[in-house]
Structure 1
Amino acid sequence: MSLDQYGLYIIAVLIAVLTPGPAVMLAITNTVRHNTITAMIGALGCVTATGLMGALSAMGLGAMIMASAILFDIVRFAGAAYLIWLGLKMWRATGKGAVTVSANPAMAHPGYMRIYLRGFVVSASNPKAIAFFTALFPMFLAPNAPLLTQFAVLDGTFMVLSFSGIMGYSLLAARSKSFLLGSARKWFDRIAGGVFVSFGVALAVSRR
């Protein structure tokens, strides 16, 4: 893989990771409801799942999942159900404990392990990511170079850029936290919940 190819890969990845999706929405929600550290833990869960899916694609398992309609649909519907459940949970929490959370975010904190796992599941439940890796990686591989090293570089680069993009959105959300925890709290919860539900519905009705 030449430097020119690697530069094109970085551009392609930046376009993908800067497009808001469930991982970005989760980071914004974690930042507003808790803090940037919580968002970082959730982002680590997201990129761990992303890196794992990249590794699966590199080993050929991604192509197998894409070829199996039943397996693909199981992952897709499970992911859709989780996103819809997460959205409904946020919607039902509208306005509850706004003053308490604003005054002491740690009181309502679910724990870092749960935050990490939530981020992992949000990313792992989207089989479209496997399709993305399966289609993207072969375009930037040099057949005369060690494939394992190239896969490691491509996957690692995606993880770093994905984490950076998610945290970029988190820092932007942190600047508006006082407003979103005030009079706009109930609207933030509703919008965030609605966005997750819409992501889940979109995933459920999508096709390979």
Structure 2
Amino acid sequence: MTDLLPAWPLLGAFLAASLVLALTPGPAVVYLLTRTLAQGRRAGLASVLGVALGNLGNALGAAIGLAALFAVSSLAFTVVKYAGAAYLVYLGVQALRGASSAIAEADAPAEVPPAATGRVLRDGFLVALLNPKTALFFAAFLPQFTSASASPLGQSVLLGAIFVAVAATTDALYVLTASVLASRLRRIGSARRWGRYATGTAFIGLGAWTALSGTRAKV
């Protein structure tokens, strides 16, 4: 496996670039923070795992040529793009519908029950996977650190996995920080209800941003 990694100076540059990109807040970080503030640390960490798996799927897709398909087929790109935007809007509507029922239970803990963790993970996975711009990002970013002396596919898969691991680590740090803030906000009686309104609005806004934005975006 080590023969698939670039030489250390180039690998160091890759790790540094990955860390900077991962630390820079983008739509995925907004999604994770919104989940955490509305539903607690368990939901946030489950979302981190889901987003990581979705991003890994996009990295694999980029490695086998899915990004090339999106680059030459505007229809394929548009279909996947709007599917992801629609799913975000759906999550936002569901959160807004639940806001009214949260009025009577505003003091209840926001943590999702263990049985619902799988659903939260699934949502994070689909939100990340249904973002074709992520595959295009990997297709543009990873080749900068590959060489002709080893398998391009193997190098792309390995580097993509490393990038996803770095991003998942920084995302988890964002979530853990937000969970501390969330625990303090829960002391305010109406925080949970307004948190649901904020969640719904943020998801719908992310969906609209995804639908209206161009082809270039951070993971």
TM-score (norm 1): 0.86
How many residues align? The count is: 208
Residue number in structure 2 paired with 1:196: 203
The verdict on how the C-alpha distance between 1:74 and 1:110 changes in structure 2, with shifts beyond 3 A counting, is farther
The verdict on how the C-alpha distance between 1:14 and 1:65 changes in structure 2, with shifts beyond 3 A counting, is same
The one-letter amino acid of 1:192's match is T
Give the drift of 1:24.
Answer: 2.3
The answer as to whether partners of 2:81 and 2:131 remain within 8 angstroms in 1 is yes
Structure 1 residue runs of 5 or longer lacking an equivalent are: none
Residue number in structure 2 paired with 1:2: 7
Give the drift of 1:179.
Answer: 3.3
Residue number in structure 1 paired with 2:181: 176
Task: Tell whether 2:159 aligns with 1:154.
Answer: yes
The answer as to whether partners of 2:37 and 2:179 remain within 8 angstroms in 1 is yes
Question: For 1:96-135, what aligned pairs fall within 5 Å after superposition?
Answer: 96-97=101-102, 100=105, 102-105=107-110, 111-135=116-140
Give the drift of 1:27.
Answer: 2.6
Identity, % of aligned positions: 30
Question: For 1:15-26, what aligned pairs fall within 5 Å after superposition?
Answer: 15-26=20-31
The verdict on how the C-alpha distance between 1:177 and 1:102 changes in structure 2, with shifts beyond 3 A counting, is farther
The one-letter amino acid of 1:168's match is L
Structure 2 residue runs of 5 or longer lacking an equivalent are: 1-5
Give the drift of 1:101.
Answer: 6.7
Tell me the secondary structure at the aligned position of residue 7 of structure 1: helix
Residue number in structure 2 paired with 1:35: 40
Q: Using the alignment, how far apart are the partners of 2:193 and 2:199 within structure 1? A: 10
Task: Tell whether 2:214 aligns with 1:207.
Answer: yes
The one-letter amino acid of 1:133's match is F
Tell me the secondary structure at the aligned position of residue 176 of structure 1: helix
Which of 56-65 and 5-14 deviates more? 5-14
Aligned-residue Cα RMSD (Å) equals 2.4
Q: Using the alignment, how far apart are the partners of 1:124 and 1:45 within structure 2? A: 9
Task: Tell whether 2:36 aligns with 1:50.
Answer: no
The verdict on how the C-alpha distance between 1:107 and 1:189 changes in structure 2, with shifts beyond 3 A counting, is closer
Give the drift of 1:113.
Answer: 1.8
The verdict on how the C-alpha distance between 1:198 and 1:104 changes in structure 2, with shifts beyond 3 A counting, is closer
Give the drift of 1:110.
Answer: 6.1
Give the drift of 1:86.
Answer: 1.5
The verdict on how the C-alpha distance between 1:205 and 1:74 changes in structure 2, with shifts beyond 3 A counting, is same
TM-score (norm 2): 0.83
* 1:184-208 deviation line (CA, Å, top 9, x unaligned): 3344333332222222112111233
Give the drift of 1:102.
Answer: 4.8
Q: Using the alignment, how far apart are the partners of 1:107 and 1:46 within structure 2? A: 18
Residue number in structure 1 paired with 2:69: 64
